[in-house]
Structure 1
Amino acid sequence: MQQLGISIYPNHSTAEKDKQYIHVANQYGFTRVFTCLLSVEQDNILASFQETIHYAKQLGMEVICDINPRVFKDLGISYDDLTFFKNLGADGIRLDLGFTGNEESMMTFNPHGLFIEVNMSNSTKYIDNILSFQPNRNKLIGCHNFYPHRYSGLSYDFFIECSEKFKKYGLRTAAFVSSQAATFGPWPIVEGLPTLEMHRGLPIDVQAKHLFATRLIDDVIIGNAYASEEELKRLSQINKAKLTFNLELVDSVSDLEKKILFDEPHFYRGDVSDYMIRSTQSRVKYRGEAFPPHNTTDIKRGDVVIESELYEQYAGELQIALKDMTNSGRTNVVARIREEEIFLIDSLKPWDKFAFSEWDG
């Protein structure tokens, strides 16, 4: 199951505000909460943690608590007794800094059934080492870091390399996206809180679509707080299983072309072209229908086109342009992918299914 999550930081907010945010997110289908336990010096902070966590639990949400190594030490907690976190109400703990592998393995057998979440943002053999100690894989999960400092986030290639290490073992994975409306996180520096640096300035739904499209990330969590209700709504509308592009239609698009765009299933044909992604079933289904030429301007990367009847047996075929191309005068440019999403076409692989929705932004 793929989940959407939010983050709360009781050290920097109030229980009432956090609960209100949790409530709204839960209404939009969010089922996971990430939080950081950064200080145990004030009883009121712990009380706020408990109040907020228990509220999230009442709504059926899963709560994972990130543990600062200093706090672990201050609490006098050993890896073989995690009762404190059970009493706090958490479903699991995230270890930003791990142990030797054997300790993590032992922790996955804790009697409270807590998840042990480990840091995915490294290129070492850390996860291989943990697995060599035969952990309870049902209680071992992974989550990437987030990065508040601009330009410090992970590169895409490194992110893929790290994520593949976890996914090859079938472990549940998570990564962070960044709200453009949020104003705080766990640290004083707040320049967004994404995992991937390339996501920092992108709309939140585009970030999430990209993470899901990698097929390496199960859970997508908003790193900073508080995301706007509009952002929560956008994320709730994402098809996690099938990459769905938002389209801006041209004025002259026909009803039949709209039907092909939005009502027909699409898949990336397996004989790959450098210039286009072809979805060809519409030309079969609508053979003999009228596809008069109407908008035959030159084609730009990110345009969605449907061949006109001047292309004879190709009439009705849908394509996504991967490169700029000269239009022969026989191809109708019917829509354009939302500019911020155009890079997502590179995530599609042969035989992938995809869809379109009309952009209302």
Structure 2
Amino acid sequence: MHKLGISVYPDKSPRDEVYAYMEKAAKLGYSRIFTCFLSIPEDKRESYLVEFKEFMTKAHELGFEVAADTNPEVFKLIGATPDNLKPFADLGLDIIRMDGNFGTQGDIQLTRNPYNIKIEFNASMDMGVELLINRGGNKDQMTMCHNFFPERYSGLDFDLFMEYNSYWKELNLHTAAFVSSNNENTIGPWEVFCGLPTVEIMRGLPIDLQARYLLATGDVDDILIGNYPASDEELEALANVDLQVLQIRVDEAEGVIDNERMVMYEYAPHWDRYDHSSFMLRSSMSRVWFKEKKSVQDGSVATVADKQIDSQSIPYRDPGKKVFTRGDVLVVNDNLAHYRGELEIVLTEIPNDGERNLVATVKPEELMLLDFVKPGHHFKITK
């Protein structure tokens, strides 16, 4: 099950602002919080931990699960050890994210703590997690979370990101990754002004598109916003992402008729045929649904075969181009009546033979999503 999360840094922002942000996110369905212990100064340790316990009470009241970034130095600072996580349990912490390690036996001890605190390992590198499992680590209390990267051009390579996620899924481990707010003057554990994404090529993209790219890989469970605060619009956009089906946003073509809109937007979900073509994605069942839908709308008791052809008509419309290109969304028209109503998305250039109408174009920044629609995979078109 996918979860959405926010990041907050209570030591760097007014408490009322942080709590208001948490309340807003909770109402939108967010259920995870990431925060960081790495920047706690030693001279403020006691006061910060008192405030943090109050923060945890508020977070739990709102239904959040909270993870905090730690390392062996943080353990020393608060008096914890691999075989004694009581100081973290006293704070109410749900997840300890390890930025560093205690060696194989120490990390195994972490995963076997009696407080049901999950131990979250760095998913952006191989930290020997499989070895921990093989040597007796408790997989039920192990989870993975990627890094985020404040420095521009330093984020994780997308292919490597997918490679790691595939590995974690082979181990049946829950995995989280970060998207980034494009809001001005956001912060992280440090002052950050160019975002906190996991994957570099996601930096600067709309936040919902970042999430849809990560979800499209099929191996990311939770999506967390790395920097604080995201704008209200971004919180809502991410909350509105369909976590169960790949959404592809399009710009609608001129002259589209209601029958074509019905095929594009009302039929759900579309899915590519198992006998996949390298030239296009084909959602063939939409043509059957379209005929049945039109028959019902017309209010006739006759069979589809008895219906007048104009009740399901999609007349040819000249798109003003001789060749359809990658990302063009097409609906088969009356000139190929047997396939009328089939929705197709062009992958490789094909000639306009007059049998298909151009109904929309995939937005340029979303074209890479087409690579993730495999035979049988569901997708949804959104205007």
TM-score, L = length of structure 1: 0.94
Runs of 4+ that moved beyond 6 A: none
Determine the C-alpha separation between the residues in 2 that align with 1:207 and 1:277: 22
C-alpha contact (below 8 Å) 1:15/1:48 kept by paired residues: no
Shift of residue 326 of structure 1? 3.0
C-alpha contact (below 8 Å) 2:31/2:63 kept by paired residues: yes
Q: Greater CA radius of gyration, 1 or 2?
A: 2
Where do residues 331-342 of structure 1 align in structure 2 (5 Å cutoff)?
331-342=356-367
Aligned twin of 1:186: 189
Aligned twin of 1:18: 18
Determine the C-alpha separation between the residues in 1 that align with 2:160 and 2:348: 26
C-alpha contact (below 8 Å) 2:282/2:342 kept by paired residues: yes
Number of residue pairs matched by the alignment: 357
Determine the C-alpha separation between the residues in 1 that align with 2:198 and 2:264: 33
Aligned twin of 1:328: 353
Ranges in structure 2 where 5+ consecutive residues have no aligned partner: 292-308
- Matched position secondary structure for 1:181: coil
Where do residues 86-101 of structure 1 align in structure 2 (5 Å cutoff)?
86-101=89-104
Match of 1:290 among 313, 321, 325: 313
Determine the C-alpha separation between the residues in 1 that align with 2:173 and 2:279: 36
C-alpha contact (below 8 Å) 2:79/2:87 kept by paired residues: no
Bigger mean CA deviation after superposition, 20-29 or 81-90: 81-90
Determine the C-alpha separation between the residues in 1 that align with 2:43 and 2:315: 72
Instruction: Give a deviation string over 1:290-314, Cα, whole Å, max 9, x none.
Output: 1101243332322211011112322
Determine the C-alpha separation between the residues in 2 that align with 1:49 and 1:275: 55
Match of 1:106 among 106, 109, 115: 109
Bigger mean CA deviation after superposition, 101-110 or 165-174: 101-110
Shift of residue 189 of structure 1? 4.3
Bigger mean CA deviation after superposition, 94-103 or 284-293: 284-293
Determine the C-alpha separation between the residues in 2 that align with 1:177 and 1:148: 12
- Matched position secondary structure for 1:323: coil
C-alpha contact (below 8 Å) 2:3/2:32 kept by paired residues: yes
Aligned twin of 2:34: 34
Equivalent residue letter for 1:179: S
Determine the C-alpha separation between the residues in 2 that align with 1:157 and 1:357: 27
C-alpha contact (below 8 Å) 1:34/1:65 kept by paired residues: yes
C-alpha contact (below 8 Å) 2:80/2:88 kept by paired residues: no
Determine the C-alpha separation between the residues in 2 that align with 1:93 and 1:125: 15
Aligned twin of 1:357: 382
TM-score, L = length of structure 2: 0.89
Match of 1:253 among 256, 259, 269: 256
Instruction: Give a deviation string over 1:89-135, Cα, whole Å, max 9, x none.
Output: 2111000112323222222221111011011111x361111111222
Determine the C-alpha separation between the residues in 1 that align with 2:230 and 2:200: 19
Shift of residue 64 of structure 1? 0.7
Determine the C-alpha separation between the residues in 2 that align with 1:58 and 1:284: 49
Determine the C-alpha separation between the residues in 1 that align with 2:318 and 2:99: 54
Determine the C-alpha separation between the residues in 2 that align with 1:27 and 1:91: 21
Match of 1:269 among 256, 269, 273: 273
Instruction: Give a deviation string over 1:182-238, Cα, whole Å, max 9, x none.
Output: 511112343210000010011100010111111111100000000011111111111
Shift of residue 5 of structure 1? 0.2
C-alpha contact (below 8 Å) 1:18/1:52 kept by paired residues: no
Instruction: Give a deviation string over 1:121-156, Cα, whole Å, max 9, x none.
Output: 11x361111111222222110000000000100001
Match of 2:171 among 161, 166, 169: 169
- Matched position secondary structure for 2:281: strand
Identical positions, percent: 39
Question: Are the structure 2 counterparts of residues 257 and 88 from structure 1 closer, same or farther at C-alpha, using a change threshold of 3 Å?
Answer: same
Ranges in structure 1 where 5+ consecutive residues have no aligned partner: none
Determine the C-alpha separation between the residues in 2 that align with 1:74 and 1:44: 13
Shift of residue 269 of structure 1? 0.7
Shift of residue 11 of structure 1? 2.6
Instruction: Give a deviation string over 1:243-290, Cα, whole Å, max 9, x none.
Output: 011222223111111111112131111122222101111223445521
Match of 2:160 among 137, 158, 161: 158
Where do residues 129-140 of structure 1 align in structure 2 (5 Å cutoff)?
129-140=131-142
Bigger mean CA deviation after superposition, 35-44 or 84-93: 35-44
Shift of residue 170 of structure 1? 1.1
